[in-house]
Amino acid sequence: MDPKFQTSFIPKKPLVSVGTSFRSIHKPKSAGTSIYMTIAVLLFVVSLIGVGGAYLWKQYLISAQENYKQTLIEREKQFNIDQIEQLKQVNVQIDTAKKLLRDHLSVSQIFQIISKFTIESVRFLSLDLTAAATPGNDLKIAMTGYGTSFSAIAFQSDVLGSLEQYGLHNIVKNPILSNPALNQSGTVSFGFSASVDPANISYESLISGTSTPN
């Protein structure tokens, strides 16, 4: 009796059944890879274009700068640099002189101002002039004097109250007579205080003829 051998058959390929049987399906993997490759190539091309554009722009700026330098050199040749420097120095000197004239005061004009509002029967004995701490502010005047009588002092006070008639109302400000007192000699002593606009006693106004009126 021949021995019976049982053999097993293992197919090397997946079986395909009829109808709804299983099939081996192989999906292509090259589609996704090609998309990423295309994006990478596009990014590389864009980066190259950016680098090239930046280089060309840099070369353009360098060329433009050189052209500007050359134009400036040509323009400078059209002017006399030494003469320009001399004119600058003269301009500085003129500005300095104007500032000195504007800020420097002609104190002697104070006496001319005082003489315009002083009546014949009044005499001033002392003068104290105080400059303002801030340039441009009014100067302070303090004086002592005497009059021949109380009526003379009263008339002097009336004159100080109507300085616009003498063209001094914008020059002498806040004039005040104070402390009248009868002396043994019969005269009446008093004090006087006021402020003066420095613009009216500057050398600039003296030269230009806009100082105190006659």
* Res. 5: pLDDT tops 50: no
Q: Could you give the CA distance from residue 82 to residue 59 in angstroms, rounded to a whole number?
A: 36
**Residue 209, pLDDT score:** 60
Of 205, 117, 208, residue with least CA distance to 169: 117
Q: Given CA atoms 128, 133, 134, 135 in this order, what sign does their dihedral have?
A: positive
Q: What angle do CA 102, 108, 120 make, to 5 degrees?
A: 135
Q: Which segments of 78-180 does DSSP mark as H helices, in order? A: 81-103, 108-117, 150-161
Determine whether domain 105-208 maps to CATH 3.40.710.10: no
Question: Which pLDDT does position 30 carry in this prediction?
Answer: 56
The string of pLDDT tens digits covering residues 136-188 is: 678 899 999 999 999 999 999 999 988 888 888 888 888 999 999 999 988 99
Radius of gyration of the chain measured on its C-alpha atoms: 53
User: Once rounded to an integer, what is the mean pLDDT over residues 40-44?
Assistant: 83
pLDDT tens digits, 55-70: 888 888 888 888 888 8
Lowest mean pLDDT among 28-32, 82-86, 93-97, 201-205: 28-32
> What does the pLDDT read at residue 59?
86
> Could you tell me where the DSSP H helices lie in the chain?
30-77, 81-103, 108-117, 150-161, 203-208
**DSSP code of residue 127:** E
Mean pLDDT of the chain: 79
Domain ranges of the chain: 105-208
